Structure 1
Amino acid sequence: MPVAVHDPVTDEIPGIEVELVAESAADPQLLLHRYISREKNFLVKFPTPQHVYTVASKGHPSVFEKSPLADCLSCAENNAPILIDFAPDDPTDPRNFSTQRKYVITVVLIALLLNSTFASSVTSGASKAIGTHFGSSTIVTTLLISLFMVGFVIGPLFWAPMSEHVGRKYILLSSFTLYFIFSIACALAPSIGSLIAFRFLQGLSATCPIAVSGGVFADIYSDPIKRGRAVALFCGSTIMGSLSGPFIAGYVSTSYLGWRWVFWLTAIFAGVTLMCTSLVLPETFRPILMMRRAQKLRKEGHNVVAAYELEDKDLKGVVLHVLMRPLKMLFKEIIVAAICLYVGFTYGLLYMFFQAYPVIFQQERGMSPGKGSLMLLPIGLGAALTTVAHYMYDIRIQRLKAMPGKVISMELERLPVTIVTAWFLPIGLFWLAWTSYNRIPFAITMIGGVFFGLGFTSLFIGFLNYATDCYKIYAASAHGIMSVTRSIIAASLPLFAPAMYDRLGVHWATTLWAFISLAMAPIPILFFKYGHLLRERSAFTSSLATQNL
């Protein structure tokens, strides 16, 4: 009874044929897949593609299951290596980590994210002080954000796929160490040119948590409900970090501390987070963990191999199968391309606001940088409200799943809240556009930020969860290319936002963005109606279904 396994997406594990022979009436497939060693706690799956071997039971399946690993190996003809994987109850499998340990990992990832997003927007609150110190124009100081976002563009193309090649922990720690170093370099920069260069390098290294964390959540949370809640908190933290940057920098840069302490605070925050991460974050990428276990077992004399060791390890293979995976997703996966476009646009709007809000509240209303940055806080309130809404909806879905025979589609599980709240994005923009007159109290104008925060954060939560559910072990690559595209837009919009607002005025410039967001609002509805068809036609999701991942 031959069994063939083939990955149509990456060809990382070519066709594997296994001939099974049973000496009893037991199902040989059951014997192969359910064998668990009491000593080593393995699930035996397939041999290497170089060998075809016969597995024969010694009688009753229960006897076979309780045999030590060496006895199982002796059943293989020609001493062919056996491909091993985690047993369902293996405590070292990240999916089987305790709830408390998963919470700790989630908190660490959120702390890393807060560092990255805080640094991304921090110069918008200190740009006036920096420009005065170096005698630079507004266009030049705007590069402090745009070049940081260019780093956000390039970084995920490397960090995300490499986390699927060498492991999550190594990539997160190495990138964040660089981020810590470049944060100090920004604080000591002797010129505006060196500061811009260090901001680019800071962004290049800071993007890793944004690109990789989705993959870590897929590693540790097999339950979509729990994974969705973790991603919701993660997305909410994205906007909180971005909004706190201008607020804190606005006050620090105008105080006796000066603008350099904006970067010293960034470095201190990064150093503390790096120390905590190195102490508590374990490796979570399952293929890497199983490879390490196979290496250890071979040293003990066992003839075993891990699936990851069957992949092409030469430079060409790494480039084609690993580094090119995010780009392959962007151009071949409609799901990824649509999410990149929509979420990228909304993300760009947020960073454009960091340039537009000073025009609306500081130039037009005469507010100080610190007080003007406070006007961004209602966006954070909207983000908090939509996070709660997604959490409450998750509870409802969990109750529906508990009903006997109830099947919940991925679209029903992830998209309904986003379908409703997506319309708040254009509402918030229209509100901001036509309440920005000086005769209207600024408190009324601020309400538009609540609507914007609701729509913006809900799109992040809904779509990032949907992508994670679709692509599972490839979620880091999907999140990585999403980070690239939204960072390209976020790097571009702030460059021409001041000139756009000067030429069109606050009201019509914001109205233009409102109409574009209104045109995009039906995208979640289209995903809800046709998402299952898109997944059926996807090579990546079809491959995952074949592998039962």
Structure 2
Amino acid sequence: MTAAVSFNVSERLQYLGENCSLVTWDGPDDPQDPFNWPTRKKWWTIGLGLLASFICSMNGTILSVAHESISKEFGFSDEPFPNSYWITTSWGVGAAIFPLVMFPFLEDWGVRPVLLGTYFCFMCLLVPIGLAGNFATLVVVRFFPGGCVPLMSDAVASITSNVFHGDRAGSIPVCLYVVVYLSSTSLGPVVGASILQYLDWRWIGYIELIFTATLFPVLCLSLPETRGIAILRAKAKRMRNEGKQVYTAEEANPAPWKQALVKSVQRPIYMLFTESVVFVAAIWAAFSLGTIYLFTESVRDVYGLLYGWTDFQAGYVRSAIVVGEILGAGLSISTNHWYYASAARNTEVPGTPIPEARLYPAVIGGFFGVTGGMFVYGWAAYSNIPWIVITIGLTMVGFGTTAVVVSIANYLIDAYSKYAASALAAVGLVENTSIAFLPLAASALYTKLGFHWASTLLGFLSLVLVATPFLVIRWGKEIRARSPFMKEAIIHRQVDSVVVARA
């Protein structure tokens, strides 16, 4: 593969002119290479991305507490169907579709222009939310901000892979990337309730616009480019302006953007239906993440009927999920040494950790967190039991969800190597589809089955899914041997281990 690419680049340079040359890094220690940046600069860049992701991810659930005000103003009812949730469904559909189509541009244009452009579009799209004249307009305009948010989250993940090399350095940033998205989503109703307690629901959009716009100049001034090919492209452009005939490898041998777009859409869908690991991971992650949104819808009914709480009070109690998500991040980070220790028993690529060891925290989170939390939330739902008990159940679910999603992300990155982006895109497609449609059943589920059996049903489904990592851990070597994508990842890991051993 490398030889073919080099031959094509050489041919292209000869075609462009005899004096043309290739622009590359000025040696392995080139300070412009993001891998060589000071640690402080790396974390500053990741921190800016995480802050942008945090502010924008809140948009997914921030309007969920305003369902009564919105339905009253636009003249529709949430009985027998929760029509007000369509604004979140629209958001989730946009989040599922946009990354598949737009991810190639992140790869080709660089992180900075994509993140800033997407952030600016998101900021502008908050204006019609506050000005919507009817419910249909509100549903439509929510579709586009929903599509912007995962693109910014993907940009954060891309920043991490651009500045940190290796699984050890990238473990904590990946964990933070997941927990920031989850905690922001869970805090959305809390922020919305705080605004709605004093102002009209339209002010949720206005205030969100204000603090989103406040960060934009900071991003414009402080966010550097981290994508290597984009940095080299800018360097080549400056040199051409000085009269030199230089090109990057990508400029000398450009790939058709239509081909990249088709591959971006095609490969994740293909992997979703042909890679059993990707399919199961997508279902498990989608169930765990969809449950957070489902609980966002069920909390107001449970706390309202049992304890007579208002929507505002029920909005605040959702912060318990955030506490659990932070604890889940602590579990994921503190158990990284389990993964590193697995290198001692790796017979395929000696000296490198076993990918399946990434799933150990998911077993704890799935069983004691998501499953246990659902049973607590369901069977402590009696008016004579203090509200703090079922709130602990919410905290347990938040704890387990973070452990599961972080473990799945890390496992797919390790197991699929250069195809990890496509595997994660497949998981994201199913996750966001779950976010869009699963909570539509919340009202009917908790009304028809009752608080106890609705959560019990979810608990048993979670218990079934908890069995999946045991199967992957037990049969992981055989699964990887049958997967063409994983086999290629093993070859890359073997080559890397040889290089490290020689060094």
Does the TM-score normalized on the shorter chain lie above 0.5? Answer: yes
Is 1:378 the equivalent of 2:320? yes
- 2:255 match: secondary structure: coil
- Distance (Å, rounded) in 2 between the aligned partners of 1:522 and 1:90: 47
Is 1:203 the equivalent of 2:150? no
Are the structure 2 counterparts of residues 88 and 398 from structure 1 closer, same or farther at C-alpha, using a change threshold of 3 Å?
A: farther
Q: Find the counterpart in structure 1 of residue 183 from structure 2.
A: 240
The root-mean-square deviation of aligned C-alpha atoms, in Å, is 3.1
Structure 1 unmatched ranges of 5 or more: 7-14, 17-45, 54-72
- Distance (Å, rounded) in 2 between the aligned partners of 1:354 and 1:86: 52
Q: Find the counterpart in structure 2 of residue 26 from structure 1.
A: none
Deviations 1:100-128 (A, max 9, x none): 11111221121122123211011111212
TM-score, normalisation: structure 2: 0.87
| 1:410 CA displacement | 3.7
After TM superposition, the structure 1 = structure 2 runs for residues 263-302 of structure 1, keeping only pairs within 5 Å, are: 263-297=205-239
Q: Find the counterpart in structure 2 of residue 168 from structure 1.
A: 111
Q: Find the counterpart in structure 1 of residue 457 from structure 2.
A: 512
Structure 2 unmatched ranges of 5 or more: 497-503
| 1:362 CA displacement | 1.4
| 1:209 CA displacement | 1.7
- 1:87 match: secondary structure: coil
2:342–2:353 CA contact under 8 A, matched in 1: no
2:300–2:310 CA contact under 8 A, matched in 1: no
- Distance (Å, rounded) in 2 between the aligned partners of 1:306 and 1:530: 43
2:343–2:353 CA contact under 8 A, matched in 1: no
Deviations 1:341-364 (A, max 9, x none): 110111111111111111111133
- Distance (Å, rounded) in 2 between the aligned partners of 1:317 and 1:520: 36
| 1:172 CA displacement | 1.3
| 1:294 CA displacement | 4.3
Q: Find the counterpart in structure 2 of residue 414 from structure 1.
A: 358
Which of 484, 495, 499 does residue 444 from structure 2 map onto? 499
Deviations 1:447-491 (A, max 9, x none): 111221121000111111222334455544443332221010111
Are the structure 2 counterparts of residues 144 and 322 from structure 1 closer, same or farther at C-alpha, using a change threshold of 3 Å?
A: closer
Residue identity in the other structure for 1:273: L
Is 1:90 the equivalent of 2:53? no
After TM superposition, the structure 1 = structure 2 runs for residues 470-509 of structure 1, keeping only pairs within 5 Å, are: 470-472=415-417, 474-509=419-454
1:126–1:249 CA contact under 8 A, matched in 2: yes
- Distance (Å, rounded) in 1 between the aligned partners of 2:233 and 2:221: 23
Q: Find the counterpart in structure 2 of residue 48 from structure 1.
A: 8
Q: Find the counterpart in structure 2 of residue 144 from structure 1.
A: 87
After TM superposition, the structure 1 = structure 2 runs for residues 300-339 of structure 1, keeping only pairs within 5 Å, are: 305-309=247-251, 313-339=255-281
1:164–1:322 CA contact under 8 A, matched in 2: no
| 1:406 CA displacement | 8.2
Decide which moves more: 206-215 or 180-189: 206-215
- Distance (Å, rounded) in 2 between the aligned partners of 1:542 and 1:167: 29
2:338–2:357 CA contact under 8 A, matched in 1: no
Decide which moves more: 309-318 or 279-288: 309-318
1:161–1:325 CA contact under 8 A, matched in 2: no
Q: Find the counterpart in structure 2 of residue 131 from structure 1.
A: 71
Residue identity in the other structure for 2:157: G
- 1:438 match: secondary structure: coil
Deviations 1:468-526 (A, max 9, x none): 33445554444333222101011111212112221111111111111111000022223
- Distance (Å, rounded) in 1 between the aligned partners of 2:477 and 2:237: 40
Which of 101, 104, 113 does residue 158 from structure 1 map onto? 101
Q: Find the counterpart in structure 2 of residue 30 from structure 1.
A: none
Are the structure 2 counterparts of residues 296 and 528 from structure 1 closer, same or farther at C-alpha, using a change threshold of 3 Å?
A: farther
| 1:435 CA displacement | 0.8
Decide which moves more: 429-438 or 80-89: 80-89
2:339–2:358 CA contact under 8 A, matched in 1: no
Q: Find the counterpart in structure 2 of residue 465 from structure 1.
A: 410
| 1:269 CA displacement | 2.2
- 1:270 match: secondary structure: helix
- 2:63 match: secondary structure: helix
Deviations 1:383-433 (A, max 9, x none): 11121122222367668989xx98241436522222222212111111111
- Distance (Å, rounded) in 2 between the aligned partners of 1:422 and 1:530: 19
Residue identity in the other structure for 1:102: K
After TM superposition, the structure 1 = structure 2 runs for residues 108-119 of structure 1, keeping only pairs within 5 Å, are: 108-119=48-59
Q: Find the counterpart in structure 1 of residue 396 from structure 2.
A: 451
Number of paired residues?
Answer: 484
- Distance (Å, rounded) in 2 between the aligned partners of 1:521 and 1:400: 21
Q: Find the counterpart in structure 1 of residue 192 from structure 2.
A: 249
| 1:134 CA displacement | 2.4
Q: Find the counterpart in structure 2 of residue 103 from structure 1.
A: 43
Are the structure 2 counterparts of residues 397 and 332 from structure 1 closer, same or farther at C-alpha, using a change threshold of 3 Å?
A: closer
Are the structure 2 counterparts of residues 301 and 530 from structure 1 closer, same or farther at C-alpha, using a change threshold of 3 Å?
A: farther
Are the structure 2 counterparts of residues 410 and 207 from structure 1 closer, same or farther at C-alpha, using a change threshold of 3 Å?
A: same
- 2:200 match: secondary structure: coil
2:104–2:260 CA contact under 8 A, matched in 1: no
- Distance (Å, rounded) in 2 between the aligned partners of 1:281 and 1:106: 9
After TM superposition, the structure 1 = structure 2 runs for residues 23-62 of structure 1, keeping only pairs within 5 Å, are: 46-48=6-8, 51=11
Quick check: which one's helix share is greater? 2
